[in-house]
Chain A
Amino acid sequence: MLAVIKKEMKSYFYSPVGYIFIGLFLIMFSIFFYIDVVQYTSLNFEYIFYSGSTILTFIVPILTMRAIAEERKTGTEQLLLTSPLSITKLVLGKFIAATLVVVITLLCTFLYFGILCFFGKPHITQALVTMFGFLLLAISYISFGILASSITENQIIAGVITIGCFILLWFLPQFSTVFTNFSLINMFSKFPTGQIDIADTVTFITFSVMCLLITIIFMQRRKSVR
């Protein structure tokens, strides 16, 4: 599994993909930082993450769309699936690598926190809880992105499916209150208040596990229909 993680990290950072993801996120984050902190003179680091979560919706597919689709298209999946490596380890490796890129991005945001600390006294715990929630949201998104990538060999289609479903989940509560608990972004929005909601945490984690499991089952089943 470590081999897969290493190789995936290399692919992220040998190609522009990793830099585009981190760069896009930080550019948007900076704009929100400027608006919140400079224009509204607020010290609430957490609320920038609330805006940040909307960016995440659009940029996670950059990381995940090629994960499995590209292996299928170029045929390199033949190398992996005929090696002793198990499908579970392959999928987990890809998932962890994408998560690491998000972690790196989050570490970069500490820079902004540092700026706030220099001029005032922001709440460190509240910020950390928000980041934790943000990471949970990110892993849910990533696992869904990997699932989308495993059902097609076309990266673009995988990306469009991912963004389409995220937007659908985001706006579902607007149609009917029945769907309130279907929105991942809604669940995340409780974290910036500084409390870790157990129900939401469990939902995020089970959602990820479910997506990854479906991916693994799907790849295993494809063996007999390929």
Chain B
Amino acid sequence: MTTVALLGNPNTGKTSVWNRLTGGSAKVGNYPGVTVERRVGALRKRPDIEVVDVPGAYSLVARSADEQIALDVALGLDGEPAPAVVVVCVDATQLVRSLYLLLQLQELGARCVVALTMADEAGPAAPNATELAHVLGCAVVPVVGRTGVGVDALASAIVTAVDAGAPAAPIVRWQPSPALAAQIATVRAALPATWPQTDALAVWALQCVGDDELIRVPAEVRAAVARAAPTAALDDEVIAARYRWLDEQVAGLAKAKVDRRRTARVDRVLLHRGLGLVIFGAVMFVLFMSLFAWSEPAIAAVETAFGWLGDGARAVLPDGVIEDFVVDGVIGGVGSVVVFLPQILLLFFFLGLLEDFGYLARVAYLMDRIMRTMKLSGRAFVPMLSGFACAVPAVMATRTMERQRDRILTMLVIPLMTCSARLPVYTLVIAALFPSHTVGGLSTKSLLMVGMYGFSLVTSLVAAWVLARVVKPLRAKRLPFVIELPPYRAPRMRDVVRMMGTKTWAFLREAGTVILACTIALWALLYFPRELPAGSPDYDAQIAAAPSPEAKAELEHARDGALLENSYGARLGHAIEPAIAPLGFDWKIGVGIIGAFAAREVFVSTLGVIHGVGDDEGSLRKHLANERKADGTPRYTPLVGLSLMVFFALACQCMSTLAVIKRETGGYRWPLFVFGYMTVLAWVSSFLVFQIGSLLGY
């Protein structure tokens, strides 16, 4: 199998070109050692040629493992075969800057083909492809990703270059100074035999190695770089030499200045001090409401469909363990995965549109000032906002951030946002345990709800601020935060829809399986041993003899409560009671907390069953309000309610969130960290609330 790598700066229409070349059907995986998506597809024209879509990069110089991908793929240093041809997407409106990457590749001896994108947009500023090809010494094919014009010619040029097969020689356009030449010689002698023996690779090592987080750099290379002792002057020399050549040879090929008037006019509105922020607020409102509220019918439809499926299975299967396993474990478990799809699809629909249009970069630009107070960048805004609807799509949206460190820090605080699954818990607690008062015309109950939102916002901001200082891998590096503000462009629907499909499939395959397995395990924990405790009345006989449907339902609820009380999960709830008693919780709340791992709102139904009232929330509210301790005082006071809400606000009671963090970070380290720090935070906060409240006499 021959591979071809597709590289280019961000915003050069690279994804469109890749979709056009391959037809968009991708094998998606991760690059070894890093969690950056590796997309591979067969070239339509020649299915024996695979095209790898490499993440956008401005340069091959790298400091972190995810930036290193571009070099590793281009040279085959990651264990995959080196590509026969490297296709470089060059933006005709940003000719000099996007050719910088090409020069680096040619110096390293990669056989390059240039896909000249955005030529239609550049208009008279676009260079003549033949002249450019002559200057660069490689094929140049103008393509328009949006319409597909030129894609056939590009595919032919790729096939021709692949078939030519002759080894490409490095093309270097500048002479190193004597000092640099000596440094290059030192490092080149230390390059491992499996790496290409080029001066350019030595230059790369001299620029990148030292104070880096690169992987797969041999110790001999590190030692040689340390001996050569490169300084900032080396960067000046190398980078200036490349740009000098580009300025002299290429800049003149653009016969006119790129017309940015249309983008400038749109920016005058969208980035306006007043109007721009109003429009920003409106766009974010639509995005948020679509996740939070407008996805509701689709979510309800998924739940109804799986409900029918469960009822159908119940009708067919004989009563017993198998039936309960299939209906509550498997069908319920698959439902709990599929139920995320409406929000995931909607979020990536909006993200795709906004990114292609060029607005996502503007969101980062507008919000950077606020987000940097938390040691994050403006790119973190949309994922964090989405966290108020659901942490699962929000964590997936962190892929729009280019730096691993920013992605992880954002993922760590997203689960603190008040997601919609916490609302049923808050609603139950507030309705059942808090008296109705009005303060200044507002009911205390709604003020409490607003207060919980404010609480989660403040804790997430504080958590980001603290984590960025305390957790070593998250300490901010002094790197410039540069956002390119690309020209506004009409989004290409097909690319957006493809991306939605890719994301959904990746979620189902990698996170969905974990969520399903956890749901089944949790079901078993709260189901087995399925025996009534010793000394229970014979419920089944009583149910059969029940005089009225109401009496029958009551007996069934009592039986289900007794069965759950005797389950392994409930025994666990009893066992953890000493740990949660200082928070004001009894073992029944403990069982609810265990059940809530499936999804936070399950707390309500689990609590209903354990209290023997079934799934009727109205009777559960009454039951909770009237439950007494042995001394006749209410068991669940408003203080217990407050402590419980604080616990739910802060604890990571959600295995789906943990599963998706595991997928996005590629290991168990970060999900375990999230679970650990949030549990400790929740326990300590609830402890303080309950103990201080008790001391104050509440």
A and B associate in one complex: no
**A interface residues (Cβ-Cβ under 8 A, vs B):** none
